[in-house]
Amino acid sequence: MLEGYKPVTTQIFDKDSKYLEDDSVFAVKDSLTVEFVPRKGDSEAALELQYDIQLAPSDQVGEGNVPLVSNGVGSGPK
């Protein structure tokens, strides 16, 4: 945990996974599916992913003084 920022817990799902259709707890949202791309020049990794997140300061609140939470990539303030 980084002092001064809210903790983050998330999941990401490979958009090509054969298991996405069997999501029995409805955890998979379009904003959480990602595309892994081939990694070149690395004998120890075949795929890579760039997934940017933005941390919210621990004292930041959303509209109506509600704690700010994220619902996926790009949902937070810029």
What is the per-residue pLDDT across 28-45, written as a single tens digit (0 to 9) for each?
888 889 999 999 999 999
pLDDT on residue 73: 46
Higher pLDDT, 24 or 66: 24
pLDDT on residue 74: 46
Residue 45 lies in a domain: yes
Residue 64 lies in a domain: no
Domains in the chain, number: 1
Residue 72 lies in a domain: no
pLDDT band, very low/low/confident/very high, at 53 (cuts 50, 70, 90): confident
Residue 3 lies in a domain: yes
> What span, in angstroms and rounded, lies between the C-alpha atoms of 78 and 72?
14
Residue 37 lies in a domain: yes
pLDDT on residue 65: 54
Helix (H) or strand (E) holding 48: strand 47-48
Structural domain span for residue 24: 1-52
Look at residue 33 and give its three-state secondary structure: strand
Q: What is the mean pLDDT of the chain?
A: 79
pTM of the predicted structure, to 2 decimals:
0.57
